[in-house]
């Protein structure tokens, strides 16, 4: 049995969260089976697909998030006067290495890039694209880095398996 009266509850939770929220968490809050929550989210996605709607629901970072439709970004930017802050080429290269090779140490990144990456790593940590995920069992116990949920959100990925393969990148 579907509980369509709970559709508004799901929508409200997605709105209030502001961040991706797992269907399992929504199910716990509104006390419905997770598979029913998934069906309600699917119904909301279909309803929001209408051209006259400004919002959509996307699956990202192992959860769902209520977002502005991409084709309306110019309008939203005007209202919010948001400035895009782009990552430098060095930051993008370093982030790519971390995404594909994680968990990885700073020394391993420097070996691949051939240059020091202290400032780049500091920037990526500050922007919450990467985080310290532990320490390597090696001499000096160097910090190992990995990507964050913010990285997944920024690149529209549900999880790291959504990254393209090396073959796809080279074609």
Tell if the pTM clears 0.75, that is, is over it.
no
Q: What would the DSSP string read from start to end of 118-148? A: HHHHHHHHHTTSEEEEEE-SSTT--EEEEE-
pLDDT in tens, 111-130: 999 999 999 999 999 999 99
Pick the CATH number of 89-170 from 3.40.640.10, 1.10.10.10, 1.10.569.10, 2.60.40.10: 1.10.10.10
**Mean pLDDT calculated for residue range 80-109:** 87
Helix (H, G, I), strand (E, B) or coil at 164: coil
Work out the end-to-end distance of the chain between its first and last CA atoms, rounded to an integer number of angstroms: 47
Domain boundaries defined on the chain: 4-76, 89-170
Q: Decide the pairing of beta strands 143-147 and 130-135.
A: antiparallel
Question: pLDDT band for position 76 (50/70/90)?
Answer: confident
4-76 and 89-170, same CATH topology: yes
Task: Please determine, looking at this structure, whether the domain spanning 4-76 carries the CATH number 3.40.50.150.
Answer: no
Question: pLDDT band for position 2 (50/70/90)?
Answer: low
């Amino acid at each position: 049995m579907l509980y369509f009266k709970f559709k508004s509850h799901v929508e409200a939770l997605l709105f209030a969260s502001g961040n991706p929220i797992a269907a399992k968490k929504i199910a716990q809050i509104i006390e419905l089976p997770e598979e029913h929550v998934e069906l309600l989210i699917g119904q909301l996605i279909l309803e929001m697909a209408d051209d006259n709607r400004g919002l959509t629901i996307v699956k990202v970072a192992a959860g769902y998030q209520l977002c502005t439709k991409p084709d309306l970004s110019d309008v939203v930017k005007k209202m919010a006067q948001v400035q895009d802050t782009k990552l430098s080429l060095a930051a993008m290269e370093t982030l790519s290495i971390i995404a594909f090779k994680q968990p990885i140490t700073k020394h391993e990144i420097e070996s691949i890039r051939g240059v020091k990456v202290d400032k780049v790593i500091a920037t990526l940590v500050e922007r919450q694209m990467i985080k310290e995920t532990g320490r390597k069992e090696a001499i000096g116990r160097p910090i190992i880095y990995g990507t964050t949920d913010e990285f997944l959100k920024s690149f529209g990925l549900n999880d790291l398996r959504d990254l393209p393969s090396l073959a796809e990148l080279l074609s």
